[in-house]
Amino acid sequence: MAEHAEHGRLVSAIRPGVFCLGIATLDYVYSVETMPTRGEKYRSRALAVVGGGCAGNASVAIARLGGACWLATRLADDLPGNEIVAELNAEGVDTRFARRVEGRRSPVSAIVVDAQGERMVISYSDPAMPEDTDWLPTSLPEGAGSVLADTRWGGGALAALKLARAAGVPGVLDGDRRPPHPDLVGTASHVAFSQQALAEISGEEDPRIGLAKVAAGVSTWLAVTLGKEGVLYIEGGEVRHIPAFPVEAVDTLGAGDVWHGAFALALAEGQGEVEAIRFASAAAAIKCTRFGGRSGTPGRDEVERFLSEAGR
């Protein structure tokens, strides 16, 4: 079997992979001491210009963690779109399914990160970007062992999750926003909500109550990521908790996306959900210790060493 070097490690040319679908952006990330609160000038201590977006960040995480990755996304035929695709390709992400649309604008974001690692995001996505899905593949690429979709394009996410069901592989929904299509949660095999999205869909502020409420209506495996508070998930009809790894956060931007990418890859590799949560949480924790959005995403060796040292 052929092998090649990637991100400092030897990787088999045939490896488990994840088909990702969703948003990819170009991010301008500014580091400040405190979050702006008034309409005046502020000076940034550092600037990172880096690709972003839920699916974009997740796909890079998958590639850095040693997985094959294909990204289906909608971009304009413009300079930001060129930068987004070039960076993804440089990371080893297969962008053959990146659609380029003339006359539109690619997604961009301005992001402010304070000294505590918290962030404020101002994003733009072209509302006239086509919603049709007939250009998407009719079957998964060879080697795709799972699917990961975000909620930014409901029709595309549903199509991708249906491909996962047809192939008999896990279909993961990154529920960082309220799902825009009523069938998304039921079509996915796994859904990991953000705390805000879970509150919106369940009508409950307590994530334990909200998770149990949503789980009562579907057979889908459900979880909610709570940042430094860890992850809640449903097992055997009960809400269970896995704590986060304690780290000193420098920049939380993209941590949730890294978590979802690592989780989907772990499932593609045949790991169980609990093992996949720990793997994903370790990858996200390491990312939080580094400024610059997804540029701080760790490689596989780093995550495995982190888990070994943590004893989990």
Domain ranges of the chain: 16-23+54-105+130-310
- Above 50 in pLDDT, residue 7? no
109-147 in b/e burial notation, b at 16+ Cβ within 10 A?
A: bebbbbeebebeeeeebbeebeeebeeeeeebeebbbbb
Mean pLDDT of 138-154: 97
pLDDT, position 312 = 63
Q: Which residues are bridge partners to 4 per DSSP? A: 11
Asked if the model's pLDDT at residue 9 lies above 80, the reply is no
Does the pLDDT of residue 294 top 50, yes or no?
A: yes
Tell me, what's the pLDDT at 118?
Answer: 83
For 22-43, what is the mean pLDDT? 92
Q: Please say whether the beta carbons of 250 and 115 come within 8 A.
A: no
The one-letter amino acid code at 3 reads: E
> How many CB atoms lie under 10 A from the CB of residue 227?
17
- Whole-angstrom CA distances from 202 to 155, 216, 224 are 22, 11, 12
Could you give the percent of the chain with pLDDT greater than 70?
A: 95
Cβ atoms within 10 Å, residue 302: 17
Q: What is the mean pLDDT of the chain?
A: 93
Judge contact between 292 and 29, C-beta under 8 A. yes
Mean pLDDT of 173-180: 94
In this prediction, residues 81-102 reach a mean pLDDT of: 97
Residues 248-271: pLDDT tens digits?
998 888 999 999 999 999 999 999
The backbone torsions φ and ψ at residue 163, rounded to the nearest 5 degrees and listed phi first, read -60, -40
Q: State yes or no: pLDDT of 10 exceeds 80.
A: no
Minimum mean pLDDT range among 4-13, 276-285, 286-295: 4-13
Q: What is the pLDDT of residue 293?
A: 84
Strands 144-150 and 171-175: parallel
CA 173 – CA 149 distance, rounded (Å): 5
**pLDDT above 90 covers what percent of the chain?**
84
Give the Å distances, CA to CA, from 75 to 22, 26, 36.
11, 11, 30
As given in the structure block, the two tokens for residue 174 are 């990154």
Residue 138 confidence (pLDDT): 97
| Positive or negative torsion for Cα 125, 130, 132, 138 | negative
- pLDDT at 275 > cutoff 80: yes
- pLDDT band (50, 70, 90) for residue 6: very low
Least confident segment among 13-22, 26-35, 48-57, 215-224: 13-22
What does the pLDDT read at residue 152?
94
Q: Answer for the pair 301, 294: CB distance below 8 angstroms, yes or no.
A: no
Quote the CA–CA distance of 283 and 286 in Å, as a whole number.
Answer: 5
At the second CATH level, the architecture of 16-23+54-105+130-310 is 3-Layer(aba) Sandwich (3.40)
pLDDT in tens, 276-286: 999 999 999 99
CA distance 69 to 82: 19
